[in-house]
Structure 1
Amino acid sequence: MEKRTIDPWKWGEYTNSAQAVEVKQVEGTLYCSGQVAIDANGQLSSGDMRTQFLQTIQNVEQLISEAGYECKHIVRLNVFTTSTAEFFTTCVDLYQGFTARHGLKQATTLIEVKGLYQTASIELEATVVK
């Protein structure tokens, strides 16, 4: 697999993402459903957004790993949240840590929505290649 990121503007260097990602010679593509803070017993976290985000990241990592892929090959990561303001004040450091830990430079969309599954406040949707 060959991966190339495209960032035509200087400000793109500071976004923890890329404006576009080109992938060639792909062996497989994994399209992950949106992941929220549900534990192994199927219980949704009642914690704040930061607590939910930590569980959501763990769920994304486990799903990708068990599918035989690697997080470092995420090419698109969409973030759905019930409050972008709260995301930036309480979770952006976790997001930056997640992307740095896996060496990511992916296409990303951050979307504020009215509601998510039950009382979830954050959801991640990934596309991964090998």
Structure 2
Amino acid sequence: MEKQVINPWTWQEERNYVQAVEVRNVESTLYVSGQTAISDDGISSDRDMRSQLLHTIRNLEKVIREAGYELNHIVRLNIYTTSASELFENFGIVQEWLTDNGIRQASTVLEVKSLFETLKVELEATAVK
């Protein structure tokens, strides 16, 4: 697999995403459903944004690794949240995770009216190998 980042500007670097990712010679692609802070028993978290972000990231990592992919092969990460202001107050968690795992992805952040039950954030990813 060959991956090329396209960034016509430099300002997005401090926001931990890229404008586009081109991938060539792909062996396979993994489309991950939106992951949230739901326990192994299927119980939705009612905790704060920080806690839900950490739990959601763990769940996303579990699905990607279970499928035999590496985190740094994430090429797209969409973030859905019921509160953009709460998300951005805690966004350092996401930025640190992206940096620590060498993830350089195209991203979209969307504020939505609601998510399932008591959930505040959902991460949807595409990974390649």
Distance 2:12 2:42 in 1: 38
Deviating above 2 A after TM superposition, structure 1's stretches of 4 or more consecutive aligned residues are none
User: TM-score scaled to structure 1, two decimals?
Assistant: 0.97
Q: Distance in 2 between matches of 1:63 and 1:106?
A: 18
Q: Deviations over 1:35-80 (max 9, x none)?
A: 0100111111110111111100000000000011111100000000
Structure-2-length-normalised TM-score: 0.97
Counterpart residue number, 2:13: 13
- Mapped pair 1:82 → 2:85: no
Q: What is the aligned length?
A: 129
Q: Which residue of 1 aligns with 2:115?
A: 116
State the 1:12 CA deviation.
2.2
Aligned to 2:41: 41
Look up the SS of the partner of 1:34 in the other structure.
strand
Counterpart Cα distance in 2 of 1:74 and 1:125: 10
* Runs of 5+ unmatched residues, structure 2: none
Specify the SS of the correspondent of 1:30.
strand
Mark the runs of 5 or more structure 1 residues left unpaired by the alignment: none
